[in-house]
Structures are given as structure tokens and as C-alpha cells.
């Protein structure tokens, strides 16, 4: 026992996005539908929960917003990705966590300074991610 859960923070307001084992985001689709999404924060898990009246089409691009300060979480480095901060309490490290804004796209990147790790079957080379 004693394994501390990771924390996930909004990069703008530093508010906690993880609640009850999920990451909570306010989202808006390209069709201008708005809704809350709860993502599994585990790297490599891509399931999400949503209200039945709010659904995503596969491949649809979704804008993720902080539910606390409403900042748009689109990554400055690549507009196809959203970025939040991941705090690993075990080793007191902060990471940037990038995930695809496309529904159904399985790619996640974790960045700690110069080190980048890619996860997911749709993940491309990180050089394509940041230096297109």
C-alpha cells in the first residue's frame, strides 16, 4: 500500500483534472456539440465515458478545455494534440502529457524535458509530432 496516484493538472490554472480515477474535460466537437468527457488516465488506455446524448464520431477532432478555468488545452507545439501536466508523486517528477484530440486515435506522448516516450498503436515518431 502507499502507492500514490499520479496527479493530472491543467497547465494554465494548475487545477486537478483527475477525479474518481478519471480525467475530466469539457469538450467541444467540430460540429459544435459540447459535453463532458472522462478519460482513463492510464497510459495506453483509450476508453472514455460520456453522456449518451453526447457522442463522438470516430476520427472527429475534439477541443479539450479545462473544466475549472476553461482554458483550451490544445498543445502549442501541435494543434492535433492536447497537453496537460502529469505529476508522478512517487518520484516527484512533472511531465507533459500529450494525447490526440481525434476521437478513436490511440496515441499518447509523455515528455520529461528532452525525453519523449510514445505510446499507442497510432503513435507516430515524436519528431513528426513536434517538428512537422
Residues 85-114 that bind Zn ion (CB under 5 A): none
Task: Tell me the site size for Zn ion, rule CB under 5 A.
Answer: 8
SS3 128: helix
Residue from 69, 93, 112, 124 that binds Zn ion (CB under 5 A)? 69
Calculate ∠ Cα 82-83-87, nearest 5°.
Answer: 145
> Smallest distance from the beta carbon of 69 to Zn ion, in angstroms?
3
Residue from 9, 24, 39, 66 that binds Zn ion (CB under 5 A)? 66
> Smallest distance from the beta carbon of 25 to Zn ion, in angstroms?
10
CA distances from 88 to 14, 25, 50, 110 (A): 15, 20, 26, 12
Cβ nearer to Zn ion, comparing 12 with 33 = 12
CA 120 – CA 27 distance, rounded (Å): 22
Cell numbers at 15, concatenated: 487545477
Helix (H) or strand (E) holding 22: strand 22-29
12 binds Zn ion (CB under 5 A): yes
Near Zn ion by CB under 5 A, which window of 48-56, 70-78, 87-95, 99-107? 70-78
> Which residues of the shown chain bind Zn ion in the complex (CB under 5 A)?
10, 12-13, 15, 66, 68-69, 71
Amino acid at each position: 500500500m502507499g502507492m500514490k496516484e499520479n496527479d493530472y493538472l491543467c497547465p494554465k490554472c494548475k487545477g486537478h483534472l483527475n477525479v474518481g480515477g478519471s480525467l475530466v474535460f469539457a469538450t467541444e466537437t467540430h460540429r459544435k456539440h459540447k459535453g463532458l468527457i472522462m478519460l482513463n488516465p492510464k497510459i495506453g488506455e483509450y476508453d472514455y465515458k460520456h453522456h449518451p446524448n453526447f457522442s463522438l464520431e470516430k476520427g472527429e477532432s475534439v477541443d479539450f478545455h479545462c473544466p475549472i478555468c476553461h482554458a483550451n488545452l490544445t498543445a502549442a507545439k501541435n494543434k492535433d494534440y492536447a497537453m496537460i501536466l502529469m505529476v508522478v508523486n512517487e518520484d516527484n517528477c512533472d511531465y507533459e502529457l500529450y494525447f490526440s484530440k481525434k476521437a478513436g486515435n490511440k496515441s499518447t506522448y509523455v515528455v520529461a524535458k528532452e525525453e519523449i516516450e510514445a505510446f499507442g498503436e497510432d503513435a507516430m515518431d515524436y519528431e513528426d509530432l513536434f517538428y512537422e
